[in-house]
Structure 1
Amino acid sequence: MSKAIKHKEAVFSADDGYVRMFLRGRPVTMFLPQEVTDSYQLHSPATLPPHKLKMDWVYGYRGRDCRSNLYLLPTGEIVYFVASVVVLYNMEEQLQRHYVGHSDDVKCLAVHPDRVTIATGQVAGNGRDGKPLAPHARVWDSVSLNTLHIIGGFDRAVTCLSFSQSNGGGYLCAVDDSNEHMLSVWDWPRESRVSEVKCSNEPVLAASFHPTEANLIVTCGKSHILFWTLEGSVLTKKQGIFEKQEKPKYVLSVTFSQNGDVISGDSSGNLIIWGKGTNRIRSVVAGAHEGGIFSVCMRNDGTLLSGGGKDRKLILWDQQYRKLQESEVPEAFGPVRTTA
């Protein structure tokens, strides 16, 4: 490794026609137009052009390692993220708006019960001056795109976010990517932490406030589902008891039925219904999908939509979890990562 690269200085390769530089601590390779390669001098002074770039369109979606990151807003826009940009996409008008408040990759997204306020969490990054920036969550207005609050105090990255549903959305829960995957609850309008506790030594894939039980939070991930109760500033947990049901390698997704039951989808392809207010299984839809169930979405009419990875199927279930319809996503589009 050259001394220049060690010090994160730009390097020009005349033979290969590229400049390798570091932007916010990350290596980036930029290839030069062929007609200027021979005459290019890395350190020769250059005048900035009079025009400024404006972001017009963002391609892609981060589905490889993130879930529950696609929502439909009252404006008709779909909100999701890729890299450090949160995209608000109007399919009908084929227009995008962009929230660009983050300094590095966004890993999670939550929508407030008012369906206007949004929270997004990012990884640790670097500022424009190269100095490290701690991972944080940003709460912002999806109409004006103005940042309302910045919530800090996380390790490595913020991987899960959820607004409380039944108390006006005054709380925001978060899980970070530290070794202990800390679960914290925030009074986000005051930017103050209410409670914090070790969640799990294993990866945590989802965290959600219960829609009607104000103080109940459900988290899930590798070989676990946990039911948390917030009392004052104390979080206490009950571990989901699988009893005779074989414990899955991963509990991948979670949602809530209209009667308050918790519904989880797992890597074994099972839908498990956990009785309201308990940590015990009420019923199981075994083999609902071939392979993992990456997404479960409760619809307003009480039917459940589940999305499979290996089988690429979207399946609609009635309120007794009987199959109503199914559709297979073409292989070219890959597995179902999330639904909204």
Structure 2
Amino acid sequence: MVSPFSHFQRLASVGLDAKNTVSVWDWKKGKVLATATGHSDRIFDISWDPFQQNRLVSCGVKHIKFWALCGNALTPKRGIFGKTGDLQTILCVASAKDDVTYSGALNGDIYVWKGLNLLRTVQAAHGAGIFSMYACEEGFATGGRDGCVRLWDLDFKPITKIDLREAEQGYKGRPQEPGLTTSSW
């Protein structure tokens, strides 16, 4: 698994080895900048924080980790669930301004993190696991096992729901490239 490229020509990857090794690459030079043990359980997503150039977030089976890259050292810190939410398998992550991270859980909840701490939970955002999440200036888009794509405002109040199971041939957005559709909100 690889993360999208950072704005600083770096790439993060997760190995399929027993340690789920996290590596940061200088992709132009084809060199590894840093590596670290990812987690004892499977990692499902890893993403650069676009607002903090040396910060990565990874998530997986009953964990979320916030990574700091300093030179060739990659240091993880586990997210603290506290009493705000249940320890869940986290399937996807998206970062926002002000050290805020959003994650989609296996049970369909969205977790909102501030730093390492779980701040609040958006319960039952989807009827089942949330596999993808995208953050932008206008809000968020999430996709879940329930067959729905949901658009949210910046406070995670619902804007619209697109149930792909009810559309004969999927949702017809505005084609950008073959096989790619978008929607405006």
TM-score (norm. length: structure 2):
0.85
CA contact (8 A) 1:160 1:176 kept: no
- How far does residue 333 in structure 1 lie from its aligned partner after superposition? 7.0
Q: How many positions carry a matched residue from both structures?
A: 170
- How far does residue 228 in structure 1 lie from its aligned partner after superposition? 0.5
| 2:115 is equivalent to residue 247 of structure 1 | no
| 2:17 is equivalent to residue 182 of structure 1 | no
Larger Rg: 1
Name the aligned partner's letter for residue 279 of structure 1.
L
Equivalent-residue separation in structure 2 for 1:242 and 1:235 (angstroms): 22
Note the alpha carbon deviations across 1:240-260, whole angstroms, 9 max, x for none. Answer: 111111111x21111122444
Runs (4+) off by over 3 Å: 331-334
Gaps of 5+ in 1: 1-158
| 2:123 is equivalent to residue 286 of structure 1 | yes
- How far does residue 238 in structure 1 lie from its aligned partner after superposition? 0.7
Name the aligned partner's letter for residue 247 of structure 1.
L
CA contact (8 A) 1:176 1:182 kept: yes
Note the alpha carbon deviations across 1:244-298, whole angstroms, 9 max, x for none. Answer: 11111x21111122444111001011111111xx110122101111110111111
CA contact (8 A) 2:2 2:11 kept: no
Q: 1:262 aligns with which of 51, 76, 101?
A: 101
Find the counterpart in structure 1 of residue 61 from structure 2: 222
Find the counterpart in structure 2 of residue 99 from structure 1: none
| 2:112 is equivalent to residue 273 of structure 1 | yes
Equivalent-residue separation in structure 2 for 1:217 and 1:162 (angstroms): 11
CA contact (8 A) 2:49 2:96 kept: no
The correspondence of residues 1-340 of structure 1 with structure 2, limited to 5 A, is: 159-165=1-7, 169-244=8-83, 245-248=85-88, 250-275=89-114, 278-299=115-136, 301-309=137-145, 311-330=146-165
Task: Give the CA RMSD over aligned residues.
Answer: 1.9
Helix, strand or coil for the counterpart of 2:57? strand
Helix, strand or coil for the counterpart of 1:163? coil
Note the alpha carbon deviations across 1:186-234, whole angstroms, 9 max, x for none. Answer: 1222222111111012111111111010110101111111000011111
Bigger proportion of residues as strand = 2
Equivalent-residue separation in structure 1 for 2:49 and 2:103 (angstroms): 13
Equivalent-residue separation in structure 2 for 1:161 and 1:308 (angstroms): 20
- How far does residue 323 in structure 1 lie from its aligned partner after superposition? 1.2
